[in-house]
Amino acid sequence: MSSTLGSIRDALDRLEADLSHHLDQLFMPVHRWTREAQIAAYSGSPRKSRALPAAEGARGVSGERMAISVRGLTKVFGPKPEEAIRLLEEGLSKQEVLHRTGSVVGLTGVDLDIREGEIFVIMGLSGCGKSTLQRTLNRLVEPTAGTIVVNGVDVRALDEAGLRQFRRQIGMVFQNFGLLPHRSILDNVAYGLEVQGIGAEERYARAMRAIELVGLKGYERSYPSELSGGMKQRVGLARALATDPAILLMDEAFSALDPLIRKNMQDELLDLHEKVGKTIVFVTHDLDEALKLGDRIAIMKDGQIAQVGTPEDILSNPANDYVASFLDGIDRTRVMSCEALMKKPELVIPLRTGPRTALKMLDDIGQVIGFVADKDKRFVGLVKAEDLLRSLGANTALSEMVNTEVRTVRPETKVEDLIPILVETDYPIPVLNDQDVLVGIIYPGSVMDKIRPESTAEVPLEVEA
C-alpha cells in the first residue's frame, strides 16, 4: 500500500514539474523593468495589501465563554440615587448631579465583558471609578442599577447566604497586604480556608501548595515582620490562591512596592497566570503596568468606559483624545508586536514554479521580491526578480535561486526585537507561525508610521470625589 502511495506521489510531482516547464515556454519574456529603481523602492507596501486585523487578545476568540458580563452598571453614593440616575439619563454631568442631589456618581451605565482566563486590566486616573467597578463584581460595593453575571450567576439576585457562598469563588489581593502579624505565613495563607471550615490537614496542605506556587517554600514558618514587601505581597497572592478561586480581583496590588520589586512581581504574576490560567481583574493607575499585564485593558473616565481593547488596539487606534493623551511618552516598541505591523502576503511562490512563471507572478503584483514555500506551505526563502531575469536564458531551477538565509520573526515578536533585524537586512521581513507558514510580511517603510507617537492633548489631571 505504501509503495503504491509513493508511486502516485512521484507521478504527481513529475506532472507538477512538467506543467511548470510548459508554462515557462508559453509565457513570453516579460518587458524590461528598471529593476534597480524598483529594488531600491521595495520598502513600499505591496499593491492592494491590507493590514491584518489587530489580535483580539492572547485568549480572545469568537464565541469564547465570558467569565464576567456587566450591563448598564451604575453606582451612586449619596442620599438620592434614583433622582441622580434620572438626571444622568437626562444628560447631566457628574458635577451637575452632585450639585443638585448631593450624590456622587461612581459609575454610569458601564457595559463590559471579561473573558474566561484572561488578565483584564482596569485603569484610569484617581477617582475615575476603577476600584468601584471592580468591587461591584462581588458586591463589596452594592450597585445602584444594572446587571452583573459572573460565571453564569446573577450576582445582584443573590441573597445574603448565596452571596457569601459566591464570594468564596472570588480571590482578592489589595495594595495593603492585610496580613495577620501574630500568625505564621502558613497560617496567614490558610486563613481563608479556616474561615470556610476546612479541616487542619487539608487546609495546611492546600496552603503549602499555594506557598510553593508563589515561590515562598521555606518561609512558611516565618512571620510577616520577617519578610520584604514583595514577599508579603506574594503571601497575599498565595492566600487568595489557596481557596482555588475562579476569579482573582487585584486592586493596585503592586503599587506600594519599590520599582524593581514591582517589576519582578509583574513578571511573576505573568508566569503564575501561565500555570494556573485564572481570570484576573487587575486595577492600576499605571499605564506601563497595564500594557505589560493586560490581555485587554479598559480605560475609564468619569465612571464610564472610554475604551476597551488589547494594548496594541489602544496604542494603534485610541478611541478619542482622552485615551490618546495617556500614550504620550510610551515606548511603543516594547508593547506592539509584529502581528500589528505585518501585511498579508499577496503572493507565495511554490518552490516547484519555473523561474519565468515566478517572474510573471511578481510582475503581476508589481513586486521585485518574492517569498517561496514548499509543497507543505512551509517557508523556504526569498527570490529576487533581478536574479530570475538573469536566469531566463539558462536552464536553472527556482530552488537554486532561493535565498534560504533569511531572517524571520513570529507574530508575537515585539517590535523592539524586530528593529535590529530591519537594520541588518535589505528585504521585507517574513512573519512565520509555529508551523513555519508565511502569515505576514513587514515592510520597513511602514514600521515608523505605526510606532511613532502622535502629539495629543493634555490629560486633565483633576481628582474626582
CATH code where residue 249 lies: 3.40.50.300
pLDDT of residue 218: 92
Q: Residues of the chain with pLDDT > 70: what percent?
A: 82
Confirm whether 180 is domain-assigned: yes
Confirm whether 250 is domain-assigned: yes
On the question of pLDDT at 6 being above 80, the answer is no
pLDDT of residue 9: 52
Query: What average pLDDT does this structure show over 306-322?
Result: 88
* DSSP helix/strand/coil, 411: coil
Indicate if 330 and 344 belong to the same structural domain: no
Indicate if 353 and 310 belong to the same structural domain: no
pLDDT of residue 305: 94
Indicate if 305 and 367 belong to the same structural domain: no
* Cell reading at 391: 536566469
Indicate if 303 and 368 belong to the same structural domain: no
In angstroms, rounded to a whole number, what is the distance separating the alpha carbons of residues 38 and 367? Answer: 8
Predicted confidence band of residue 453 (pLDDT cuts 50, 70, 90): low
Residue 44 sits in a domain whose CATH number is 3.10.580.10
Structural domain ending residue among the three candidates 285, 311, 336: 336
Show contacts of 289-293: CB within 8 Å, 24+ apart.
289/121, 289/254, 289/262, 290/121, 290/123, 291/315, 291/330, 291/335, 292/266, 292/335, 293/119, 293/121, 293/266, 293/269
Predicted confidence band of residue 462 (pLDDT cuts 50, 70, 90): very low
pLDDT averaged over every residue in the chain: 81
Indicate if 80 and 31 belong to the same structural domain: no
pLDDT of residue 451: 65
Judge contact between 125 and 302, C-beta under 8 A: no
Distances (CA, A) of 459 to 12, 193, 289, 305, 321: 65, 44, 18, 16, 9
On the question of pLDDT at 290 being above 70, the answer is yes
pLDDT digits (tens, 9 = 90+) for 388-409: 888 887 778 898 999 999 999 9
Indicate if 312 and 374 belong to the same structural domain: no
Q: Residues of the chain with pLDDT > 90: what percent?
A: 39
Confirm whether 41 is domain-assigned: yes
Number of domains into which the chain is organized:
2
- Is the pTM value of this prediction over 0.85? no
Indicate if 323 and 396 belong to the same structural domain: no
Confirm whether 2 is domain-assigned: no
Of the ranges 28-37, 363-372, 456-465, which is most confident? 363-372
Indicate if 299 and 387 belong to the same structural domain: no
In angstroms, rounded to a whole number, what is the distance separating the alpha carbons of residues 300 and 188? Answer: 34
Indicate if 309 and 282 belong to the same structural domain: yes
Judge contact between 128 and 301, C-beta under 8 A: yes
pLDDT digits (tens, 9 = 90+) for 244-281: 899 999 999 888 788 888 888 888 899 889 988 899 99
Q: Which has more confidence, 58 or 440?
A: 440
pLDDT digits (tens, 9 = 90+) for 187-205: 999 998 888 888 999 999 9
In angstroms, rounded to a whole number, what is the distance separating the alpha carbons of residues 178 and 168? Answer: 18
Confirm whether 284 is domain-assigned: yes
Confirm whether 73 is domain-assigned: yes
Confirm whether 441 is domain-assigned: yes
Query: What average pLDDT does this structure show over 169-186?
Result: 87
> Domain span at residue 433?
27-50+340-451
